[in-house]
Structure 1
């Protein structure tokens, strides 16, 4: 039996298909909940929002680690090509959809539950904008590396990896404590 390499095009197509199916199922369940309008719709939307945020944060934490390993791989090597593929798949299949769902559901919750009022909510949205900027920064690096740009030093990505962590902690404190 010949094992299929995960870097082969057919493995990529299968992974993309699984991701599309998973996303479609997630969105289908979300749509079914929204259309059925259960009494606890707010809690359902909040649960889906948290699930999307967890997926987005996982990607924001993991992608800089891939950049660190990529920076150690010799340019043009099979290892560097594997990292390129991993980075692109993580960004396209997990991070981008999770960010879009997080934003959509978060804005819905901000409007439905709070009518966009509350200093804590405004501060949270500002921090989520910064988190989105970190996402965009990582996205640019994925595109740069895919075009065979020289990777930034591992030390840079170790420091950049702390930004989503700090933002996440501040956002969680604002959401749970609502200090103002």
Structure 2
């Protein structure tokens, strides 16, 4: 199980790297001046490739997390409320990941984007979710 746990940590860390960086690309995309087609296309290409790559990282991260959950029997019995809270965070991360994909699709269709300030705030969401998840797993407050 230690190998599974180690791989889970590696894939989660890698997935988060994408969750941290993709919205930063969106900040730059929102700041592209009208008429800068080459710059816009380059940022969209980067976004597409990163989104595809981070999706490939998310699948094993979630799969290995499920393996740990089922293998250890975590969550059964009293004192495991922390896990239920962490599972909620995982669901929120999956929703955030999907939202990133939706924003990318809208950008590719040329639909109006949010402002660069909005994307700067949007970029903070995974930081807060990571902080909460780590605190729940390490401290197990309830």
Normalising to structure 2: TM-score of the pair? 0.92
The structural deviation recorded for 1:53 is: 0.4
Displacement of 1:75 in angstroms is 4.4
Q: Contact 1:110–1:121 (CA<8 Å) still a contact in 2?
A: no
Residue number in structure 2 paired with 1:108: 67
The number of equivalent residue pairs is: 138
Give how far 1:132 is off: 1.0
From 67, 70, 78, the equivalent of 2:38 is: 78
The aligned residue for residue 24 of structure 1 is none
1:89 aligns to what? 49
Candidates 83, 90, 93, aligned match of 1:121? 83
Alignment CA distance shift 1:48-1:69 (3 Å): same
Alignment of structure 1 residues 1-180 onto 2, 5 Å: 42-75=1-34, 77-93=37-53, 95-117=54-76, 118-180=80-142
How far apart in 2 are the matches of 1:102 and 1:115?
Answer: 17
* 1:74 to partner: Cα distance: 2.9
Give the aligned CA root-mean-square deviation in angstroms.
1.2
Structure showing greater Rg: 1
CA distance in structure 1 between the aligned counterparts of 2:65 and 2:140, rounded to whole angstroms: 16
1:73 deviates by: 1.0
Higher relative contact order (CA 8 A, sep 6+): 2
Kept in 2: contact 1:121–1:174 (CA 8 A): yes
* Segments ≥4 residues shifted beyond 4 Å: none
- Hey, what's the Cα distance between the residues in 2 that align with 1:82 and 1:142? 13
SS at match of 1:60: helix
Distance 1:52 1:75 in 2: 37
Instruction: Structure 2: give runs of 5+ residues left out of the alignment.
Output: none
* TM-superposed deviation, 1:90: 0.1
2:75·2:81 contact (CA, 8 Å) conserved in 1?
A: no
Shift of 1:63: 0.5
Gaps of 5+ in 1: 1-41
